[in-house]
Amino acid sequence: MHGTVSGLVASYGYTVLFFLVGLESLRIPLPGETALVTAAAFAALGHLSIYTVIATAIAAAIIGDNGG
């Protein structure tokens, strides 16, 4: 299952989203908003949970902002 894009997104999508949004909140120029929109699109396709995407983005933004 890890060989397909949807398998990789299902396995590592939340982790990648957390790091991209969190590091962007630390003022490192990374595409956090683009990752969030992409995660929302994958949630619309059923590969991720929209509620977990929202919670991951909120947690990453708060932790990254406090770390910055």
What does the pLDDT look like over 1-55, one tens digit per residue? Answer: 556 888 888 889 999 999 999 999 999 999 999 999 999 999 999 999 999 999 9
Per-residue pLDDT, 8: 84
Contacting residues for 24 by C-beta, under 8 A, at least 6 apart? 30, 31, 32, 33, 64
Per-residue pLDDT, 3: 67
Number of domains in the chain: 1
> Which residue intervals of the chain are DSSP H helices?
5-25, 32-44, 50-67
Per-residue pLDDT, 5: 81
Per-residue pLDDT, 6: 80
Q: What is the domain range of residue 37? A: 5-67
